[in-house]
Amino acid sequence: MAYDTVEEFRSKRDAAVSFILEQTDFQPEYLLILGTGLGQLAEEIEAEIVISYKDIPHFPVSTVESHAGKLIFGHLGGKPVVAMQGRFHYYEGYTMQQIVFPVRVAKALGAQTLVVSNACGGLNPNFSRGDVMLINDHINFLGDNPLIGPNDDELGPRFPDMSEPYTERLIETAETVALDNAIKLHQGVYLATSGPMLETKAEYRFMRQLGADVVGMSTVPEVIAAVHMGLDVLGVSVITDECFPDALEPVSLDDVLEAAAKAEPKMTQIIIGVLERL
């Protein structure tokens, strides 16, 4: 459900922000959202303070076992970050407003940039399991949108521009980091679908024809909220399974987690490398 009023949203956000400010005066410039199987990047953060989602007023709590539920405040690549270890998916039953609530809170705490990672299926036949892709555009196929409902004009416009949701300067920086570290890095379009089931062959064929390079069940709501508030965005995907309709193999969650874990060092290097250079 969308918020009934802007005041309802603000009072919930402000309660969460006040609670966090009672624990710490740490000011993050970057919000990191760590996706499926990629939570280990959190280990690299020189943490100042860790806060459980369950303690923060109005914060959703993750239901997926492969996700922890913590906000980690600290330094990564020399930059002040807050990392979400564990994110919220539409298929868990959260509203779009709940899914993007942490992004709204991070902005209120000072974040100017969102760095978001995810696991996804590869539709582009040039992509292999374990490859990494920078998201350069997206297709919102979720059938819902976090901006529906009253618009808080202090946060952003009613009709936000989406001509460059993924910041070109950050994409270029990530490309340089990948080149310097000899990491193969693709770029492409991420299509978000609700899940939780994986797609049929006919659906993969359809999504490829729509212009998508990868498909996943997250990221787009958070990016929409970030763009709405004027944040810069870097999106990085790990391809955990190959969704080629003419050669489709069954995929288990274990396969997805294994591929994500294998690709994690590349993802970590790219994200830390980008933060160091900014």
* Residues near ligand HPA, by CB under 6 A: 119-121, 195, 198-199, 215-217, 240-241, 243, 256
Min separation Cβ 191 and ligand HPA, Å? 9
Q: How far is the CB of 196 from ligand HPA (least distance, A)?
A: 9
State in angstroms the smallest separation of the CB of 256 from ligand HPA.
5
CB 221 within 8 A of CB 142: yes
Q: Residues with Cβ < 8 Å from 36, sequence gap 6 or more?
A: 64, 66, 67, 118, 119, 218, 240, 256, 257, 260
Residue whose CB is nearest to ligand HPA in the complex, by number: 121
Contact 74, 103 (CB under 8 A): no
Among 254, 93, 226, smallest CA distance to 167 is for 226
Nearer of residues 195 and 245 to ligand HPA, judged by Cβ: 195
Instruction: Return the number of the residue (40 or 167) whose C-beta is nearest ligand HPA.
Output: 40
In this complex, which beta carbon is closest to ligand HPA, that of residue 82 or of residue 191? 191
Of 121 and 149, which CB lies nearer to ligand HPA in the complex structure?
A: 121
Kindly give, in sequence order, each residue whose CB lies less than 8 Å from that of residue 119, ignoring residues fewer than 6 positions away: 35, 36, 37, 38, 216, 237, 238, 240, 256, 259, 260
CB nearer ligand HPA, residue 31 or residue 119: 119
Distance CA 66, CA 39 (A): 9
Please, are residues 143 and 194 in contact by the beta-carbon 8 Å criterion?
yes
**Does residue 261 sit in helix, strand or coil?**
helix
Minimum distance from CB of 172 to ligand HPA (Å)?
27
- Residue 111 Cβ, how far from ligand HPA at the closest point, in Å? 26
